[in-house]
Amino acid sequence: MGMVLNIQRFSTEDGPGIRTTVFLKGCALRCKWCQNPESWTMTPQVVWYQNRCIGARHCLSACPEEALALTPKGMTIDRRRCSGCGDCAPVCPAKAIEVLGTRRSIDDVSAEVLRDRPFYEESRGGVTLSGGDPLFQFSFALALLTRFKAEGLHTALDTAGYGTLSRFRALVGQSDLVLYDLKIVEPEKHQRFTGVPVEPVLRNARWLGAQPNSVWIRTPIIPGFTDSPENIEAIAAFIRESIPTAERWDLLGFNRLCLPKWQRLDTPFECTETSLVSEQQMTQLVEIANESQVPKITWSGVTREAAAPDPIEHPYVGCDRR
Amino acid sequence: MATPHARSSAAIEREPCHADFLQSTRLLFPAHSNEEAIRPWTVTTLAQTYAPPSAVWQPSKQLSPRIKRLRDEYFAFDQRSRYFTNEVRGYTTGTPWDQLYSFNEWGVTPEAVPFMRGFRDSLRALAETVEFGDELFKLSIAERRAHFFNTVLTKHLPVAILEGELVVGSYFNTALSKVLTKGEQKEWDKGQARFYEELKHRCETGEFNYGAIPGHLVPNYPKILQKGFRGVQEDLKALSAKITDPKHQAWLRALILSCEAPRILSERYAAEAEHLAKKENNSERRHELEMIVRICRKVPWEPAETFWEAVQSVWMSHMLVMAAESYPGPGTSPGRIDQYLLPYYEHDLENHTITREFAKELLECYWIKHNYAYDFQARVGNSQGINSSFGQLITIGGIDRNGEDSSNDLTWLILEVIEEMNLLEPKPNIRLHAKTPEPLVRRVAQMVARSQGSPFLVNFDETSMKGLVWQGVPSDEVWDYAPVGCLENTMIGNDVSGTVDVNPNLAKAVELALSDGRDIRLGLQLGPKTGDPLSFKTFSQFDEAFKEQTRALLDRAIKANNFADALRVNFEPVPYLSLLVDNCAESGKDCRAGGARYNFITVEAMGLSTAADSLAAVKKLVYDEGRVPMEKLLHAIRTNFEDDEELRQLLLHHGPKFGNDDADADQIAREISRLWGEYVFKQVAPASGRRYRGGYLSWNYFISFAPKTAATPDGRRRGEYLSNGVCPAQGRDIQGPTAAAISVGKLGLEAQPNGSSHTITFSPSSLRDEEHLNKLVAFLRTYGKVGGTAIQTNVVSAGTLRAAQERPEEYRNLLVRVTGYNAYFTTLGKEQQDEIINRVSHQL
């Protein structure tokens, strides 16, 4: 059993072809710009959607911890009291209360993933294990990937790479493709902005670069955090030297669509004022990224000129996605 | 191989879109309990983007000056009304009892019901009198119709050749006399009145609409290309020599006479071209006109030999179908033109008598012609939501008789024409199958992705043919099928399957099951008394009540339609069209009277998902979980959830919903689908002997019947739209398009051999580059294996649609796919626009 955040079918942004992405809960990193703060902890979390609430109040009486209160400003959730038991969610007629995170078995997850097999076969797609970071629920992640491989699916591991080498090796061993996040190379900044040291990330990346697996690098472009030419240059240099197997590098422009998620978790978001990236800047960064010698470099996201395509309104996106 | 057009090769460029942060206020429902009122807390900001008008599919800048002029001329109705419009021309015998308008032919446009009498009277008042001798009234009705039609073509229907056009034949919208005797007319009038009253009643109750609808077939144009009407006439004469039955003899005389119709009109076009050629100073145009003279004196009377002749022959034959039926292009579909025009195209290319460019220009001239059907309603407004109803569907691609791919250079040329013209008609359909070459699927996907609307119906051979075989088409013939109208699968040249004839509302059966057969709004007992739901102890009792109501509703619809069918069989033959339908001569019967080789009447149910979701909610929440007492549900349904928003939310969010690959909801949907599909297939219309068969094309009835259908246990309020085709109810499919496709595939759709309408909308950004285009290609291919019979993809954002709604003048080119046909978005009624926006807002 493991803690699953969401399973998203027809996932088109997490690897080749048509895929299903399994988002696991739990991550070691605490990136300031995180798009999926609900994936940080392993415990289920209660959230309240104000636009769905009709004021039926069943949740209030269902809560054994008396952690909920409906005020004129909306619902307050006492997070110290809330145990994440989830009793409040099923009684809500409007699904305005949701518990993020469900314990699910390997069989259960696998059955859902296999439903779209005909689409994977035609599109050369498959399954992507994402998070959080799958490394955080190592045993469950390994069991899932092993099962998917046994079913003959193309597997992709979407990871920030922070974990022990032995665990990382085990997951990579069951993955055809690794989607690897490289956010910041400079150690002090990495520590400050993501909450963890960069060394394990780079060490695992170096090891990965010597493996036969396909690798796609992903870098979130967050103004003021990761968007400096120096940072991209450093990542490019690192990739060139250490990950010659990288087939592709995606630069993912920052957006603020995650803001309501932070609010729903009662967590202050430091990037509220962070601006969108400009198209010109993205183009410049792609230029710099070219020095990595990665064959394919792409960028995506909503830019400041607002000249980008519609944001894809998926309920969940992988870590640092978009 | 086709040279990719500049615009299409640029498909991988980024879509120029502008983000527009619209403020959208979503009002919350006021609290209804006695506790403290909770105010709406929120103003939600929705990030929306839209494509500027310049990014919307446009006609090509590279159209030749000739085609550009002709295309512009078509759209300039007001300017050209000085010299040419193809408005309806009424022709009467002048008898005081004469009528030109059949209610039963328009029964599928419920929105027209209030105006029908006006249409009837004004057509008669404006009609031109055609000399029709008393002695002719002694002939059979079919012979009279043939004589009358030929006289109209000889002396009355005007001819016009527009500047620069290469394919001629302009006036074809008619309202022809029924040519009945006083006694016949009396009987017919009585039947019409009865039909009208019943139709009006059934539209008011929202149970169904129906009518004996013209068109909706693929006439046998290939036969005309090969034999000419002369050859057809010779065959008829030979057959006539062997027939002794006087009625059959009279029928053959009508057919033989009808063979003259195209010759008569073509000669008048030849004469007109001759006249114009004499006045023409430009030698190039003079030469063209001389060619037109020669071609019109030859085809469609004689077999065609060149591509130009073939295109002219098809157009003249086709346009006369519309004139003969007095109904412009209702699913009168040319079918597989890339197959039957191919020999002529290849012949001319090999002999260097034509260039690829000129062939394209000919096709483009032909393309514009089809659109003139819409002059029919140019003055009665174009925002009734019905303006796009004339589905002259052309089909390209598909398998050949050996099961191999049949696409060819003409297929690719036609794709260029479709892309460059950006016109409503003829509506394009591509048949995909497992062996469709990759470049062709990619080309189609590219066009879909670029169009900001949808230029295509994509029909899947494997799933479509399965249904046709189920209904009895031999498996070695089924390869040569083509959809008509919107997506209705039929065979070619020998099949009259009356698609869209009967349109029952499955959601109404839910209402009746909940109210012991009474209409909740009108208080009328419509269905059988299936019992007070409070007395139902188990779900299966409720389910049985629903099934009984469904069967009874179908019985009422079929009975009503049998009457319309008989009225038409007895009084409204179309001998000219019967020439183009195999077996009518041999069987001695009109194509509307069961004379074709394949004769079906199609029942197109609507509201499948609404009904399935309703049953699934009752099963789970009332019976399995006991969470909702039946009494409470009944109260809420009767009061339209007015005092129980909480229950509505519960039903909406906790009931299983079809379209999510959910085993429970999908199983219920399948049971409903098989139940009614198999039920109607057992019925035969006595007058024509045509068997009923199922299909899913809700056209726009899911809107017009919405206010007539009470609130439903899926959480839908009265007035909210019913589900459409096999689509999941609007916004209820939250698992994405793969899950929706799989759900649809589980329905067992061979019991609906007519085919199923499934519309999926993609956001433009999900198709922004080659990589994502490949995913669409793979999606389409997989859909052909696991999904329904046809798919329509809209690639458009809600923001673009909103912009088009606000500034229609800038978005006149924006084509969207609506339940089986494409339409210019800005010409649709607001309800339908809102429905599309609503659907897109939940886009996948």
Q: E-assigned strands of A72-153?
A: 74-77, 97-100, 102-104, 126-130
Q: What is the pLDDT of residue B335?
A: 97
| pLDDT for residue A51 | 84
Beta strand residue intervals within B534-661, DSSP E: 598-604
Chains A, B: CB pairs < 8 Å: 131
Which residues touch B244 (CB under 8 Å, ≥6 apart)? none
pLDDT at B814: 77
List the single residue in B with minimal CA-CA distance to A119: B782
Which of these, B576, B605, B373, lies nearest to B499 by C-alpha position?
Answer: B605
Backbone angles phi, psi at A20, to 5 degrees: -115, 130
Active site residues of B: 486, 488
Distance CA B40, CA B189 (A): 58
Domains of chain A: 2-42+102-300 (3.20.20.70), 45-100 (3.30.70.20)
Q: What is the DSSP letter of B689?
A: -
Cα–chain-centroid distance for residue B279? 42
Closest CA to B662 of B712, B612, B608: B612
For residues A14-42, give the mean pLDDT: 95
> Tell me, what DSSP letter sits at residue A135?
G
Cα(B660)–Cα(B612) distance, integer angstroms = 13
What's the CA gap between A101 and B123, in Å, rounded? 67
**Are B782 and A118 inside 8 Å of each other by CB?**
yes
B125 lies within 8 A of chain A by CB: no
B199-253 tens-digit pLDDT: 999 999 999 999 998 999 999 999 999 999 999 999 999 999 999 999 999 999 9
Distance in Å, alpha carbon of A173 to nearest chain B alpha carbon: 26
Q: Which of A20, A95, A258, A310 to mutate to test the interface with B (most CBs of B within 10 A)?
A: A310
Q: Which of B819, B134, B38, B85 is nearest to B488 (CA)?
A: B819
Q: List the one residue out of B844, B600, B645 whose CA is nearest residue B735.
A: B844
The 10s digit of each residue's pLDDT in A226-259 is 999 999 999 999 999 999 999 999 999 887 778 8
Tokens of A3: 């803690």
Residue B278 is classified by DSSP as H
On whether the CB atoms of residues B369 and B315 are closer than 8 A, the answer is yes
- A70–chain B nearest CA distance, Å: 9
Question: Do the chains contact at B35 and A95, CB–CB below 8 Å?
Answer: no
Which sign, positive or negative, has the C-alpha torsion A49, A51, A54, A55? positive
DSSP state string for A54-90: ----HHHHH-TT--EEEETTEEEE-TTT-----THHH
A-facing residues of B in 288-347 (CB < 8 A) are none
Number of residues that make up chain B? 844
Instruction: Flag residues of chain B having pLDDT under 50.
Output: 1-48, 382-387, 842-844
Q: Which helix (H) or strand (E) holds B18?
A: strand B18-24
Q: Which residues of A touch B774 (CB under 8 A)?
A: 17, 123
Q: Is B512 exposed, middle or buried (0-12, 13-18, 19+ CB in 10 A)?
A: buried
- The whole-number pLDDT of residue B700 equals 80
Gap from B705 CA to chain A (nearest CA, Å)? 27
Q: In the prediction, which pLDDT does B72 show?
A: 94
Across the interface, of B14, B39, B737, the residue whose CB is closest to A72 is B39
For B437, phi then psi, to 5°, come to -60, 145
- At A78, list the tokens: 């006492």
Question: What is the radius of gyration, based on Cα positions, of chain B?
Answer: 27
Per DSSP (E only), the strands in B76-207 are: 89-92, 128-129, 174-176
Residue A262 distance to chain B (closest CA, Å): 16
Secondary structure E strands in B197-301: 208-210
Is A307's CB within 8 Å of B18's CB? Answer: yes
Interface test with B, best of A119, A120, A257 (most B CBs within 10 A): A119
Return the pLDDT at B734. 85
* Chain A hits for B797, Cβ within 8 Å: 310
Nearest to B761 by CA among B839, B657, B825: B839
Q: How many angstroms separate the CA atoms of A96 and A79, rounded?
A: 17
CA distances to B207, B505, B507, B513 from B553, rounded to whole Å, are: 7, 9, 11, 11
Reported ipTM:
0.92
Q: Is the pLDDT of residue A311 over 60?
A: no
How close B772 comes to chain A (CA, Å)? 7
Radius of gyration of chain A (CA): 20
B14 touches chain A (CB under 8 A): yes
Q: CB-CB: which of B17, B36, B652 is closest to A309? A: B17
Token pair, residue B514, equals 């909940």
Identify the pLDDT of residue B47: 30
C-beta atoms of A122 and B782 within 8 A: yes
CA dihedral A278, A284, A286, A289 (to 10 degrees): -130
pLDDT of residue A313: 35
Distance CA B103, CA B567 (A): 11
Residues of B in contact with A308 (CB under 8 A): 14, 17, 19, 49, 765
Q: Which of B483, B486, B545, B475 is nearest to B510 (CA)?
A: B545
Contact B647 A93 (CB under 8 A): yes
Residues in B 23-62 with any Cβ partner in A closer than 8 A: 26, 28-29, 31, 33, 35-36, 38-39, 41-42, 44, 47-49
User: Which pair of tokens denotes residue B783?
Assistant: 């859909």
Surface-to-core class of residue B152, CB atoms within 10 Å of its CB (0-12 exposed, 13-18 middle, 19+ buried): buried
Which positions in chain B touch A73 (Cβ < 8 Å)? 41
| Residues written for chain A | 322
pLDDT of the residue at B281: 96
pLDDT digits (tens, 9 = 90+) for A70-128: 999 899 999 999 999 999 999 999 999 999 999 999 999 999 999 999 999 999 999 99
Nearest CB to A93 within list B16, B650, B774: B650
Q: What mean pLDDT is predicted for residues A199-221?
A: 97
- Residue A257 DSSP SS3: coil
pLDDT for the residue B815: 72
Residue B822's pLDDT is: 64
Residues in CB range of B212: below 8 A, 6 or more apart: B102, B104, B105, B107, B498, B501, B561, B564, B565, B567, B568, B572, B592
* First-to-last C-alpha distance (Å) of chain B: 34
* Cβ-based neighbour number of residue B834 at 10 Å: 15
Phi/psi of residue B566, each to 5°?
-65, -40
* Inter-chain residue contact A307 with B736, CB threshold 8 Å: no
Distance CA B124, CA B129 (A): 10
